[in-house]
């Protein structure tokens, strides 16, 4: 199945000059969505995954389904102020400014095998921040996986030394 045929281009969203890759059209097709989850599971085939770590919000869609399929836990990474309890926070650079992500300090046990998952790899900033959060809890990053990779933004370069998988590349 050619998953890229289920991705819709939306010009000038969220602002003029950006060609947004809309995944809702893939999510609206049960076979394409199931195929996506199955192919993401192949990234860790033969390895024990204890937890999937994913950032809000679209990454949650795939992470929940994949955690169910793999029989592992799911840990949400969120924007500041969205998680109750004690959190670790990591700030990272954006094209214009900075942003931050948070994860509970007790999200998983030290030494856990972690798969980091998101819908899109763009510049790599969000994923690098998630890797840093996992390392703060002394987790073992098995791989980072994405539905879509925007190769022209060179995000993979920020993830050197990691096992990186993407299902669709533009």
Region label for 58, one of left (φ > 0), alpha (ψ between -120 and 50) or beta (otherwise): alpha
Do 103 and 52 contact (CB within 8 A), yes or no?
A: no
Q: Which helix (H) or strand (E) holds 48?
A: none
**Among residues 58, 78, 102, 151, which one is catalytic?**
58
Do 55 and 113 contact (CB within 8 A), yes or no?
A: no
Closest CA to 117 of 170, 41, 28: 41
**Among residues 95, 102, 110, 157, which one is catalytic?**
95
Q: What is the rounded CA–CA span in Å between residue 102 and residue 80?
A: 6
Give yes or no: 58 in active site: yes
- Residues that are catalytic: 58, 95
């Amino acid at each position: 199945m050619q998953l890229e045929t289920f991705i819709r281009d939306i010009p000038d969203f969220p602002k003029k000059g950006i060609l947004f890759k809309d995944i809702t059209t893939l999510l609206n097709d049960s076979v394409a969505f199931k195929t996506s989850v199955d192919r993401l599971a192949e990234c860790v085939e033969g390895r024990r995954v204890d937890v999937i770590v994913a950032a809000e919000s679209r990454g949650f869609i795939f992470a929940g389904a994949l955690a169910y399929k793999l029989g592992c836990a799911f840990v949400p990474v969120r924007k500041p102020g969205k998680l109750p309890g004690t959190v670790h926070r990591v700030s990272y650079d954006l094209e214009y400014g900075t942003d931050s992500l948070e994860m509970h300090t007790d999200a998983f046990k030290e030494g856990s095998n972690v798969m980091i998952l998101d819908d899109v790899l763009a510049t790599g900033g969000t994923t690098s921040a998630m890797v840093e959060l996992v390392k703060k809890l002394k987790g073992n990053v098995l791989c980072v996986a994405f539905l879509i990779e925007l190769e022209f933004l060179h995000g993979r370069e920020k993830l050197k030394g990691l096992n990186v998988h993407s299902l669709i590349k533009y």
